[in-house]
Amino acid sequence: MTKALMVVSGADALVLADGTSHPTGFWAEEVVESLRVLREAGVEVAVATPGGVRPTVDAASLEGNDFGAAVDAIADELASPLVLADVDAADFDAVYLPGGHGPMADLAVDGALGRLLVRFEAEGKVVAALCHGPAGLLSAVREDGAFAFAGRELTVFTDEEERQGGLDVPYSVEARLRDLGARVAAGPAWSSTVVVDGNLVTGQNPQSSVDTARQVAGLLARRG
């Protein structure tokens, strides 16, 4: 059975551009739908967070939908995630980074995640990131200072979607990825947009959750 490591943000707040603190965490749809699709496809998924902290669901991601029940159904699993720094890359075939604004606060600068991503990329293992999850890719800097995903095509929650969302974020993930040499492909705002570049699979927004997970599951299945 193929195994995937889902790295979920442990942050519960993001300091905005004006210096105020905004409550955040992981986006419910991105975690629960990705887990559902991957597991239905026969992929074994383990959840990890920085420090092994219990991740916080972004309350905004529970408004006007039924994802709260799905989050409750995995509450025990979320209560005892793996410690990210203790994870051995050799134990997994893929790494998957869901979003919410949380990754901008912790995964973007997490050294343990960066080392894991650099190794996965070097070995050609599947790397997937969704919505703000690509903020975690910013941590993937090689020993020579090079960004591990420079020159790769990917997508991310776009600046246009940030503007429409109305949150004054401290930095643009899209711009930082471009500045590091990634080739960002943006679909229409709020569309299900997934970009596959070899072993790298990225989804643009929550609406891309199912399609991103399906692409990952398919890629893993083809690799056997």
Decide: 43 and 4 in contact? Cβ < 8 Å: yes
Three-state DSSP class for residue 121:
helix
Q: How far apart are CA 200 and CA 177, in angstroms?
A: 14
Q: For residue 200, what are the β-bridge partners?
A: 127, 197
Dihedral sign, CA of 122, 144, 150, 139?
positive
Assessment of whether the complete model's pTM goes beyond 0.75? yes
What pLDDT is recorded for position 210?
98
Identity of residue 69: A
What pLDDT is recorded for position 122?
97
Distance set, CA 41 to CA 58, 60, 213 (Å): 27, 29, 10
Joined tokens for residue 20: 């105020």
Joined tokens for residue 122: 């070097």
What pLDDT is recorded for position 213?
98
Question: Mind listing the pLDDT tens digit of every residue in the chain (224 residues)?
Answer: 899 999 999 999 999 999 999 999 999 999 999 999 999 999 999 999 999 999 999 999 999 999 999 999 999 999 999 999 999 999 999 999 999 999 999 999 999 999 999 999 999 999 999 999 999 999 999 999 999 999 999 999 999 999 999 999 999 999 999 999 999 999 999 999 999 999 999 999 999 999 999 999 999 999 97
What pLDDT is recorded for position 1?
86
Identity of residue 76: D
